[in-house]
Every structure is written in structure tokens, then in C-alpha cells.
Amino acid sequence: MGTFTEEITLDNVGDIINVRNGRISDANIRTVTLDALPDTGAWTPAINEEVRQKLGLAVVEMVESGIADGSTAEYGLTEPVEIRWKDRRISQEEVVVPNASEILMGALPPESMDLYVDPVNQRLIGVHRDQQIRRLK
């Protein structure tokens, strides 16, 4: 067993709201698709400064957070982003680790999207079903 990444898409929630309110078009939603580590040892998702800037996210507060070596440090916490994996999504604040080489999905988004981290087969799977969710209009 080892670590693995999953492709996710992050969207600026403020932009999504602006589309719904007719202020901007869909084409203006700041979005980034990247590989993220579904790290169950980290509760909150974490992005680096480069991703924060691409998404145009404001840092709304500073938080103290523990890191892998057991120490703590202060990090920025962003306004919400929409995290999408296949047909599932959740809005979540992100911790900004300025020079992070890996983007962490953390444990909260998969849990909230009814996903299970399968370490043996190194993938995310749906807890109750692993099929597309049919969206009703």
C-alpha cells in the first residue's frame, strides 16, 4: 500500500454565485483541475499559493494547524471552493500551505461526498454506489 492521487477540479465559489446572479458568464469561473492526495491523516484540504492565486481566492483568516512532523504552524484559510470529483461535489474552505508540492484532498471532502479511500487498490470509490448520480432539474 502507498499513496495515490485522484484528479479533482476546484472552482471559485464566488464566481459560481456570480454566474447564478447573472454578473459573469460560465466562461469566467476560475477553475483548476489537478491531482490531489486523498490523505486521511489530514482533515482539511490544502492547496499551495499558486493554486490560491489561480482561483483568485481571498485568505479570510489565519489558522494554526498541525503538520506531519508533529509541529504546528500558521496558515491562511481561504473562502470556499467547490471541490469536484467525477459527479460529486462539495464546497469547502482550503488551508494554504505556500510552497506545498502536493495538493491534499484531506479526509473531509471524500467523507462528505460519500467516498471511501481504498488503500489496497489505490483509488476512491463510492461508499454506497460507485456510479454517476443522476441530477434532476
Rounded CA-CA distance 10/69 in Å is: 27
CB within 8 Å of 111: residues ≥ 6 apart: none
For residue 94, the domain's CATH number is 2.40.70.10
- On whether residue 59 sits in a domain, the answer given is yes
Q: Is the pTM of this model over 0.85?
A: yes
Say which range, 61-75, 80-94, 95-109, has the weakest mean pLDDT.
61-75
Give residue 13's domain range.
6-126
Query: Considering its fold, how many domains does the chain have in total?
Result: 1
Q: How confident is the model at residue 134 (pLDDT cuts 50, 70, 90)?
A: low
Mean pLDDT of the chain: 89
Q: How confident is the model at residue 22 (pLDDT cuts 50, 70, 90)?
A: very high
Mean pLDDT confidence for 59-63: 96
- On whether residue 1 sits in a domain, the answer given is no
- Span 90-115, pLDDT tens digits: 999 999 999 889 999 988 898 888 88
Q: Which pLDDT does position 118 carry in this prediction?
A: 85
- On whether residue 135 sits in a domain, the answer given is no
Rounded CA-CA distance 61/50 in Å is: 18
Q: Which pLDDT does position 38 carry in this prediction?
A: 87
